[in-house]
Structures are given as structure tokens and as C-alpha cells.
A and B are shown apart, each in its own frame.
Chain A
Amino acid sequence: MAEPRTLFAKVWDAHTVDDDLLFIDLHLVHEVTSPQAFDGLRLAGRKVRRPDRTLATADHNVPTGSEAPDDLSARQLEALTTNCEEFGVPLYGLGHRRQGIVHVIGPELGVTQPGMTIVCGDSHTSTHGAFGSLAFGIGTSEVEHVLATQTLVQRRPHTMRITYQGELGIGCTAKDMILGTIAQIGTDGAAGHVVEYTGEAIRRLSMEGRMTIANMSIEAGAKAGMMAADDTTFAYLEGRPGVPEDFDAACHRWVDLRTDEGASFDREVVVDVPALAPQVSWGTNPGQVAPIDGAVPAPHDEGDERALAYMDLRAGTPMAEIAIDRVFLGSCTNGRIEDLRAAAQVVRGRRVAEGVRAMVVPGSVHIKAQAEIEGLDDVFRAAGFEWRGAGCSMCLGMNPDILAPGERCASTSNRNFEGRQGAGGRTHLVSPAMAAAAAVTGRLTDIRELVGA
């Protein structure tokens, strides 16, 4: 009998051209990390080897309002258009009806499928692992390497299994699961490892929830995060433009992409799901997280002290007493239709608190249109939210959507690094429902108080 294998091993083994050379099934490209790679190709007289396995969009540095991009940004967007035309790469650029955040549109188009190898010059490429693919972020030199050869030089990473035991409590979401996990294992807790997420709580999640978890694998330092495909995966993919014509036959193959009984991992971690309250970050990395019904913790080291000083917080302050100025709902972590629905449900019939500026940035043009069909835009607008165009926006603040120095934001994004959302800005990472709750009360708020749990 064949040796039992992990999901990771099955996908990896199917893509090794040689021991250390991995074939890439899908290369996603965006405007910020690709211009220097295309320049490199031009200088060396190389072509894009497989345009049919390459897809580009503009997301990181696009305006989400009516303002025109600044000169440098316009030049960067123009470079993407020119490069894609010159090298024959399909582009879903600004103004396209399928434009959006690269990790949102891959799944949305159905080009993210189980068993694939997927790379992109962006660390949140791990998102696509929610579909049982091996997906990871790369730098610009590697972008150039994939464009030129459709392969990457790689060493086989270690494996880790994170098992979620028990069920989520009321008011808790996938975001709380992954924030709680990073708090438990640390921001380098999964370094050098490909993580497989398993357990009943994972199986019960929608694809949107699974993507939220896989997305933040990188925040625990993981090479990638994966989940076995199941009926939820297939139901999400069915009917999308990129899926195989004989969809049933494909599902039949994909269902084998799971870890065999008895396969072993280099490391095992267990997360106690019922113990998780809604989570909020208090510091300047995604491992500095506390439950909303807890308090700002006492610093353990100099890093914690620096974080508290930057965040202007004192140990012992109840998390739910922290007042906020801004709310950002969006990003490749939580900018999908289900995230907007969850937030709208909290917002409906309520008003954004006095003095708070709140914005919704849908993850893609498609999601924005869907939300408008459902009337979610009216709910947000009536409550005082700004309803904006698709893009990465204030998750990384390359466009004008940024915090002013000292402003404090409840954000559904993935990183609370110093200055991430604007120099001097202070970020608290939360779920969409928690962001909505913070918007209407003006402070970090236990969502369970608003939904009557």
C-alpha cells in the first residue's frame, strides 16, 4: 500500500518538474510588484512563457473614489497596462467589470481550483489555499522567474496541522479563529511550514470564512495555508467562468485531495474554538491580540512596550473602552460579499457614531455589484458609511485612503504594523461584524452585546 500522504504532499508531488523545481499552474500579477519583473524580461529579451497561466489586475494602488490617481500611481497603472499588452497577459484593469483585489477575483473567476500551485507577488496569496491549492507569495525576482519559465526553484517546506476543536460561539467568526491562532502560536509560529487547517469548525465555515483564515496564514509566518476541498468548495466553484466543463468529473478528482489517514505532520497544533471570544489586536503585529472582553495586557518585553507606546494604550484598559476614529471594512481578508452582509446586518437601523468616519471598500467590482443588488449599499449609506470602489485601499494605504497620524481604526484587514494604514495611524484588527459594531458605538465593542447573545 502507498505511504499515506498529506494534502500538501499530494499537491507538491504533482508539480515537481524536478526535486527543486516546482511547476506553477497560475500566476497572478498586480501593478506594484510586477513592473521591475517585466523590465527584467525586456532587458534579457525574454517572453512570458505561459500567458494562458497568467492573470493580471490592478488593485494595490487604485483610487476607490472619484479622485484621479497621483502622477506616480498613474504611471504605475499605465506600466501594468503596457506590460500586459506587450507580453500578452490577460488584464482585468481599472474600469473592467471583473477588476478587484487579486485574491478576491481568482476564486471569483473560478481560476483558483483544488490541487493547483498558485503564486503572486503578494504575501496574502495564501488565501487561495482555502480551495486545497498550494498558494504562496513571492518577491519580484521570483515573479520574473515565473513569467520567464512558469516554474520556481523551491525547497520542500515542513508541514504543520492546526486542528480546530469544538464549535464557534455566537458572535465569533473565521477572523476570530485565525487571530486567536496567531496569538497562540506567534507571528513566526508557522515559519518554514505549510499549514493544513482541519477540524469541524473549518468544515462548517463558508468559503469566504475559509479564505479569511488561509489569507492570514502569512501573519503566523507560514509559507502557505491549505484546506481540503469538500462540498462547500464545489458549491462555491460551480458555474464560475474558469471551472472545467465537466465539473462533476473534476469534483470527483478533487475529493481525493485530502490528507490520508495516518499521514504525519512535522508539527501539530490544537486550537480550542469554544474558548475564543471575539478577538481584537491591541499592538503592532497580528500576534498581539486580546479577547474583546479582556484588557490590554501587561507588556512582556521591549517589543510589547514599544507597541503599547505606539498604540497609545495602557496595560489593564478594558479592550471595549477603546474609542475609535475610523472604521475600514474591506481587504482580501474580509472584503467579500459575506463579510459585507455580516456587517450590514449589524449596521441596519443604526447610525455611525458621531465623529467616526467609516468606509466600505468591496473586494471586487463584482462584489460591489452583488451588494448593490442586495441593497447593502443603501444600508451602509443610510448609516453614514462611505460606499467606495474596489481595491486594496486602506489595508495598505497606498492610495489616498489612509489614516491621519494618531487616528485609531477598527479594521477588517490583516496587518496592524506601525504606519500600515497611514504614518502614525493605529490599527485594531477585527471581524466585519466587530468593525460594524465599533462604527455604531464609536469604540471597540463586543458584538455579542449588540446581537443580544
Chain B
Amino acid sequence: MKPVHTIAGPVAALDRTNVDTDQIIPKQFLKRIERTGYGEFLFYDWAKQPAFALNRPEFKGAPILAAGRNFGSGSSREHAAWALQDYGFEAVIAPSFSDIFQTNCTKVGLLPVVLEEDAVRELLDRAPDAATVDLELQTVTLPSGRVEGFEIDPDVRERLLNGWDEIALTELRMTDIERYEHDRERVGPSTVSL
């Protein structure tokens, strides 16, 4: 994973609430067994409508996506995060995210940023005016120049800043895992002896 530090540039606005992952990447694109190449199918059905927000030329190439509450609800498909990233987004800003989607984003280096409704409203209303997300400082500089802080799990932040592989980090704790397995792991069920 590439390290994440500062993301600065135009904001694309998707002013809708409860955007589910079925919209972000419809099921027919989940048949592929690769991890890349989903960007062209992002919002596949919505994108067919000429008036769809992301079809606006001024949003093209924007690194930041702003959206309404409960973004990424529904299916756990990580393909949704892959598609947004592959399309060119490096950060998504919303008043709230679904848990699984938010976690998926942090695993692939697409930064999910939760801001208050009024700050997101400014981003949505002034898009494509530029904003700056600074992960180190945990701030977003809005188009007006107003600076808003955001919360992020400190371990997730450090992992993103360094671009660390989470599995490799966990493997450093293998002694603890082995101790758990030896001392505390429950007996069964074993799937290999059914």
C-alpha cells in the first residue's frame, strides 16, 4: 500500500445520502477475480444518466469525493473501495460511513474522512472548489479556508502514513497468537473433520 499523507485538489460532489455499495459497483462486475480495473464501472447504472453528478466535466480527475450520510452501506464488497480508488479518488469525505466500507477503505489506502454535516455541506455546495486533507495533522482545509479537524483511529493513521502491510504487522505478534491458541482457544468445531 502506498503511504497516505496529504490529498489536495478539486472536490467532486455526490449529494446523496445512503449511497450503497451496489450503486458504487454493481454485482455484474464482481465476477472478476482481479483486484484492479473496476474504475471504469464506478456507479455504472447512475453514470448512464447524463445528469449524474460525476459526469460533470469539472469533477473529472478530482482526488476528493464528498457525499452524504451513511456512504457505502450494504454489501461488504471491497470492490467498492477498489473502484473509487481506481477511478482516481484518494479520499472520501462524508458525515458518516457504513462500518465495513470504512474499514475496507483504510485497508487499501483510500482515506475515509468523517466531518460534521455543515463542513460536508460546504464541500458539496462549493465543489469543485479545492480542499486539502492532511492525515498527519488530521485536518481538512475547506474551500473557504476554514480548517476542520477529524478523528481517525491512531493505529490506522500510523499504518496509512507509513503504507504498512497490516498482515505483516500482525505477523510480528505471532507469539501472542500462538499463546492464545495454546492457552485459550476453544475446542472445535474443526471444519476438516466433518
Chain A interface (Cβ within 8 Å of chain B)?
14, 17-18, 20-21, 23, 25-26, 32-33, 35-36, 39, 44, 46, 51-55, 60-61, 70, 72-73, 75-76, 79, 88, 90, 109-111, 113, 115-116, 121-123, 137-142, 144-145, 148-151, 153, 155, 187-188, 191-192, 218, 221, 223, 241-244, 285, 301-303, 306, 396-398, 415, 417-420, 423
Contact = CB atoms under 8 A, between A and B. Distances in A.
Contacts of A150: 177, 181
B22 A398 contact: no
A36 B79 CA distance: 10
Nearest to A51: B192
B176 interface: yes
A90 B96 contact: no
Contact of A53 (B73, B77, B107, B191): B191
B17 interface: yes
Given A72-B31, A142-B103, A306-B16, 20 more contacts: A17-B177, A23-B181, A25-B185, A35-B33, A39-B35, A46-B167, A55-B191, A76-B31, A111-B191, A137-B76, A138-B103, A139-B78, A150-B181, A187-B70, A191-B70, A301-B17, A398-B30, A415-B22, A415-B75, A418-B22
Nearest to A16: B180
Contacts of B177: 17, 21, 23, 149-151
A88 B190 CA distance: 13
A141 B74 contact: no
B182 to A, nearest CB: 12
Nearest to A397: B27
A425 to B, nearest CB: 11
A259 B78 CA distance: 34
B118 interface: no
Nearest to B165: A44
21 contacts: A33-B78, A54-B191, A70-B31, A72-B31, A76-B32, A79-B33, A137-B100, A141-B107, A144-B167, A148-B167, A148-B171, A149-B167, A149-B174, A149-B177, A151-B170, A187-B18, A241-B194, A242-B188, A243-B189, A306-B16, A415-B20
A188 B96 contact: yes
B56 to A, nearest CB: 18
Nearest to B104: A139
A149 B16 CA distance: 38
A140 B189 contact: no
B76 A139 contact: yes
B31 A417 contact: no
Contacts of A73: 31
B73 A187 contact: yes
Contacts of A121: 76, 78
Contact of A141 (B16, B73, B166): B166
A419 B180 contact: no
